[in-house]
């Protein structure tokens, strides 16, 4: 169809496109070289007179389908044509050029990967994008695509890269590895990567300022700055833990050098805020609730909500004040629940791009077998879901649902009703069933305000209010029960990144440390026989899966993963240990339990990059029949981009 169907006219997509411009652009899209313009100069000359010339072509009146635009984008390079057209228009005409929206598809083997951080970024001049794509070994690497090209090219040596960002001149790309890990820089035309920051940058964002500084999220969860060539790291911001803030993410240096725009993370994306970090004294000020703010040259902040809405709000960079009310720009934009990363980017010359498929009502809870085949738990049940947990007998599902904040709901399986369990507070998540199936525990900030989240317990039938289970001054972020239901493991949160795992008993405030230290340890999972527990540690600089004895954790540890891993879960039989990789692979390692623990080399069961993840917990469950209960985000891991050219003119017109 791509080679046989005629391209659709731009005037059918946007009525404000002048007929002459539409005809000129349509000629540039013709399949036969003899029917197109011979040179860019000829195209420019034709476009310059397009507003006065009358077209003789009889353009079709049928509006093109979304799929047809994909074909045009792939077959004719319409993105490049549109970019040139608007550049010529802006230079030769006083009237504003029209805004055009296009959907851009990526060929097989070059798609944007679904990762829990920033997936792509525009260069400042809007001429190219860099994104996280596949490598040759089922992992991730960076790819670059010029907008005047139909194909992308990989950047060698960028394996496991996350959160890419451009240098101001567009000649280099920065990226992050691990969590925490390195901050590295690589030339856009290829060459070795240079490590700027080692083992102390987290994947929640970096920004390359015009003065040559790189602002990034430090392993201490604070805003930091380092020269792009390397050198001394300055930690710039102070965490206001009294207000419940735990992290400063997604920095952007603002014009004037006084502030950086940051995301103030509390406990989830439903209570995150946008704020300003004073670069002189490190204080922070909240300016509005939202996620992933980006300042653009028109004097607006573009940001997202946890429901997938993209908004803009006018902002005075000199005073640091909002000067108007937010206005919606787009819906169904992909937003990552773990980091708040909204998948959009804006160039300095007014090209907006965003990934669709997220937002309200798009996710679905599915069963996934060992081959990766998905079956909906209930085909009529869609929403915004996050972490899920199965009752011990697989008869019920507890799941985190986004709506009025985060709440825990219970669904009877397979097709039974859904009932809300948590009602107090707005940050209730990460449910876990108590063995026996009568109670559910979850994490909540039910005290409100600046209170850190703690562990609560509630009857699964909702017949009584939730009661406190365990508290800690640093906050509790996970609960994992032993099979006998007598003890539980807690992951204690910390704003400096040093998350620890402790064990306790209901009714007893004494907690014994299992794994604690300067590294992050999290996502505990107790083996079916109750002897062992698996967990994630980043002590090596990369998240890996380890196993220790529950009652003698100091006896040593066994590493199970080989090249990184997260979200460990045991097979009900105790014969396998599962975990996930950053590229969406479900791994399985055959294990032997008993007085000693052994594990064989893990193997890939399937890859499902479009499933919800939880970098510091478990976003999936394992059924008694060996299937996996997961949340399909409602957008494939190879989502397309919506690109909006000349968007700044539209933005100004809405004031």
Give the pLDDT of residue 634. 65
Is 388 in contact with 620 (CB distance < 8 Å)?
yes
Rounded distance, CA 113 to CA 131, Å? 8
CA distance 408 to 390: 13
3-state secondary structure of 241: helix
pLDDT of residue 178: 73
Contacts of 508 (CB under 8 A, 6+ apart): none
Structural domains of the chain in order of their starting residue, each with its CATH number: 10-101 (no CATH), 106-360+638-653 (2.120.10.30), 364-632 (2.120.10.30)
Is the peptide bond preceding residue 414 cis, with omega within 30 degrees of 0?
yes
Residue 10: its pLDDT value, please? 59
CB atoms within 10 A of CB 288: 15
Check if the beta carbon of residue 406 is closer than 8 Å to that of residue 421: no
Task: Count CA within 13 A, CB hemisphere, residue 391.
Answer: 19
pLDDT at 572: 97
Rounded Cα gap, residues 493 and 495, in angstroms? 7
The predicted pLDDT at position 164 comes to 97
pLDDT of amino acid 290: 95
Q: Which of 318, 617, 337, 595 is nearest to 489 (CA)?
A: 617
CA distance 214 to 228: 6
Sequence-distant contacts of 227-231: CB under 8 A, at least 24 apart: 227/196, 228/167, 228/172, 228/174, 228/185, 228/196, 229/196, 230/194, 230/195, 230/196, 230/197
What is the model's pLDDT at position 85? 43
Mean pLDDT by 10 residues, the chain (655 residues): 51 56 62 52 49 34 38 41 44 65 82 84 94 79 90 90 95 88 93 93 94 94 96 94 87 97 87 95 96 96 92 96 94 84 94 78 86 92 86 95 80 91 84 97 73 87 94 90 96 76 89 90 96 93 92 93 94 97 90 95 90 84 96 63 88 68
In this structure, are strands 628-632 and 621-622 parallel, antiparallel, or unpaired? antiparallel
Is residue 340 within 8 A of residue 265, CB to CB? The reply is yes
Query: Whole-model pTM?
Result: 0.68
């Amino acid at each position: 169809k791509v080679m046989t169907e005629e391209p659709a006219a731009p005037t059918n997509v946007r009525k404000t496109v002048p007929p002459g411009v539409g005809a000129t652009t349509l000629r540039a899209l013709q399949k036969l070289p003899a029917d197109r313009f011979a040179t860019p100069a000829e195209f420019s000359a034709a476009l310059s007179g397009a507003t006065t010339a009358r077209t003789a072509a009889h353009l079709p009146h049928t509006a093109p389908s979304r799929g047809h635009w994909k074909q045009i984008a792939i077959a004719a390079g319409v993105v490049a044509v549109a970019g040139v057209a608007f550049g010529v228009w802006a230079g030769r005409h006083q009237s504003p050029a029209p805004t055009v929206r296009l959907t851009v598809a990526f060929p097989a083997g070059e798609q944007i990967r679904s990762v829990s951080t920033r997936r792509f970024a525009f260069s400042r001049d809007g001429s190219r994008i860099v994104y996280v794509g596949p490598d040759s070994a089922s992992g991730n690497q960076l790819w670059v695509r010029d907008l005047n090209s139909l194909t992308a090219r990989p950047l060698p040596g960028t394996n496991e890269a996350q959160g890419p960002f451009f240098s101001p001149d567009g000649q280099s790309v920065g990226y992050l590895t691990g969590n925490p890990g390195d901050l590295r820089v690589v030339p856009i035309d290829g060459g070795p990567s240079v490590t700027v920051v080692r083992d102390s940058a987290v994947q929640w964002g970096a920004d390359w300022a015009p003065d040559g500084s790189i602002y990034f999220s430090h392993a201490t969860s604070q805003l930091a700055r380092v020269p792009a060539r390397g050198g001394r790291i300055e930690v710039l911001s102070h965490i206001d833990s009294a207000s419940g803030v735990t992290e400063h993410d997604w920095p952007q240096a603002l014009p004037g050098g006084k502030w950086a725009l940051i995301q103030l993370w509390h406990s989830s994306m439903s209570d995150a805020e946008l704020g300003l970090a004073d670069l002189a004294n490190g204080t922070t000020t909240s300016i509005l609730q939202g996620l992933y703010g980006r300042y653009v040259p028109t004097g607006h902040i573009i940001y997202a909500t946890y429901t997938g809405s993209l908004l803009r709000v006018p902002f005075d960079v000199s005073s640091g004040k909002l000067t108007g009310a937010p206005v919606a720009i787009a819906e169904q934009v992909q937003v990552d629940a773990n980091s708040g990363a909204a998948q959009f980017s804006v160039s300095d010359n007014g090209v907006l791009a965003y990934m669709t498929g997220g937002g309200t009502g798009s996710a679905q809870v599915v069963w996934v077998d060992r081959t990766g085949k998905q079956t909906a738990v209930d085909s009529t049940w869609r929403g915004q879901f996050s972490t899920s947990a199965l009752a011990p007998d697989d008869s019920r599902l507890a799941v985190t649902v986004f709506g009025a904040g985060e709440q825990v709901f219970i669904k009877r399986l397979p097709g039974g009703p859904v009932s809300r369990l948590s009602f107090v507070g707005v940050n209730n998540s990460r449910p876990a069933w108590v063995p026996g199936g009568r109670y559910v525990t979850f994490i909540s900030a039910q005290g409100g305000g600046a209170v850190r989240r703690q562990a609560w317990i509630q009857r699964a039938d909702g017949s009584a209010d939730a009661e406190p289970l365990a508290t800690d001054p640093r906050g509790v972020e996970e609960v994992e029960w032993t099979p006998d239901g007598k003890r539980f493991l807690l992951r204690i949160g910390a704003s400096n990144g040093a998350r620890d795992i402790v064990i306790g008993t209901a009714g007893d405030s004494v907690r014994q440390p299992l794994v604690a230290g300067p590294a992050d340890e999290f996502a505990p999972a107790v083996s079916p026989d109750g002897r062992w527990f698996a967990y994630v540690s980043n002590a090596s600089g990369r998240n890996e899966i380890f196993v220790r004895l529950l009652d003698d954790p100091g006896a040593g540890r066994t590493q199970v993963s080989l090249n990184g891993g997260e979200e460990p879960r045991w097979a009900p039989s105790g014969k396998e240990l599962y975990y996930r990789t950053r590229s969406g692979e479900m791994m399985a390692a055959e294990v032997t339990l008993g007085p000693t623990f052994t594990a064989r080399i893990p193997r890939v069961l399937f890859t499902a990059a479009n499933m919800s993840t939880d970098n510091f917990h478990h976003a999936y469950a394992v059924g008694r029949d060996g299937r996996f209960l997961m949340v399909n985000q409602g957008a494939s891991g190879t989502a397309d981009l919506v690109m909006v050219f000349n968007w700044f003119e539209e933005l100004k017109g809405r004031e």
